[in-house]
């Protein structure tokens, strides 16, 4: 790995270690991991790799169903938080780069990622690795935010305040588009399902509380706002985020905030 690539990975890991992503998962993201595990039909005796596993939102439910699970992530702090959430002994927590996984070819029956691998900057490299480590006839399962949904809009809202992306990087929510996935995996995966759904969020009294949580706990938002601060644009950033929250709030006047975060759940067989 070149020094430039190594520096990028270190910055990426540090970004996800900032704030309180484990707490954010507990606030409203918990249902997504079990949703993916259920769709994959994971059960006893399966060998499962969770790529960009974070705090184990999908890894732990898979292990609870009797699978032998490897939870891998670029950020050790997230894995440590995940390991502290369970006493199960059929999960291994391994620091690993989704774009260069430290596993042998065709090592796993199931390779999955719940709102994780989509944040690896080089999409084709990550997709190639998912295919490589999944056995022929095994299953690949992905749950990713949709580009035309709320999280796609959030990243578009934040983009004007972000530093230039690294060379070759692609926007994370592209993973939630059917066409993008088919392009990444080509004829190497036979997709059985590509199903759109929404995660309904009712955890906030006021719409702006949603944005405040992201500013306090979500690594990408923390990093982008820090860049806005360096440029003297923090007030502009905060106003844009508040306007975003108002736009996407589906609740009526005087009601607690309600949001719907659209995602794509895809499962397929590795040829």
Residue 220 in any domain: the answer is: no
**What pLDDT was estimated at residue 5?**
76
Q: Dihedral of the CA atoms 123, 15, 144, 125 (nearest 10)?
A: 20
**What pLDDT was estimated at residue 7?**
85
Residue 237 in any domain: the answer is: no
**What pLDDT was estimated at residue 252?**
95
Residue 106 in any domain: the answer is: yes
**Residue whose pair of structure tokens reads 């004829």 in the numeric block:** 187
Residues 192-205 have pLDDT tens digits of 999 999 999 999 99
**What pLDDT was estimated at residue 166?**
87
**Residue whose pair of structure tokens reads 């949709």 in the numeric block:** 146
Residue 238 in any domain: the answer is: no
Residue 37 in any domain: the answer is: yes
Residue 187 in any domain: the answer is: yes
Residue 121 in any domain: the answer is: yes
How many independent structural domains does the chain possess?
Answer: 1
Domain limits for position 37: 3-204+262-270
**What pLDDT was estimated at residue 262?**
98
**What pLDDT was estimated at residue 73?**
98
**What pLDDT was estimated at residue 1?**
58
CATH of the domain at 35: 3.40.50.150
Counting as low any pLDDT under 50, the low residues of the chain are: none
Residue 63 in any domain: the answer is: yes
Cα separations (Å) of 31 from 70, 200, 201? Answer: 20, 10, 11
The two counts, helices (H) then strands (E), for the chain are: 11, 7
Please give the sequence-ordered ranges of beta strands (E in DSSP) within the chain, or none if there are none.
47-51, 68-73, 91-95, 108-114, 134-145, 189-201, 259-270
């Amino acid at each position: 790995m070149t020094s430039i690539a190594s520096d990028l990975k270190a910055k990426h890991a540090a970004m996800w270690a900032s704030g309180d992503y484990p707490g954010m998962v507990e606030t409203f993201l918990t249902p997504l991991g079990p949703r993916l595990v259920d769709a994959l039909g994971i059960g006893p005796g399966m060998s499962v790799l969770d790529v960009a596993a974070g705090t184990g939102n999908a890894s732990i439910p898979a292990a609870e169903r009797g699978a032998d699970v490897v939870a891998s992530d670029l950020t050790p702090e997230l894995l440590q938080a995940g390991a502290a959430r369970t006493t199960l002994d059929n999960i291994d927590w391994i620091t690993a780069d989704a774009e260069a996984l430290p596993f042998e070819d065709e090592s796993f029956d199931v390779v999955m990622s719940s709102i994780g691998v989509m944040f690896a900057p080089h999409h084709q490299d990550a997709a190639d690795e998912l295919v490589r480590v999944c056995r022929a006839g095994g299953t690949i399962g992905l749950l990713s935010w949709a580009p035309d949904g709320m999280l796609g809009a959030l990243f578009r809202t934040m983009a004007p305040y972000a530093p230039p992306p690294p060379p070759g990087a692609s926007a994370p929510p592209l993973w939630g588009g059917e066409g993008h996935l088919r392009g990444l995996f080509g004829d190497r995966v036979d997709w059985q399902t590509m199903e759109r759904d929404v995660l309904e969020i009712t955890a906030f009294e006021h719409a702006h509380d949603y944005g405040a949580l992201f500013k306090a706990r979500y690594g990408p938002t923390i990093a982008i706002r820090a860049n806005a601060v360096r440029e003297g644009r923090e007030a502009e950033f905060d106003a844009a985020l508040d306007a975003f929250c108002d736009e996407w709030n589906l609740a009526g006047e005087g009601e607690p905030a309600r949001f719907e975060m659209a995602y794509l759940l895809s499962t397929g067989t590795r040829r």
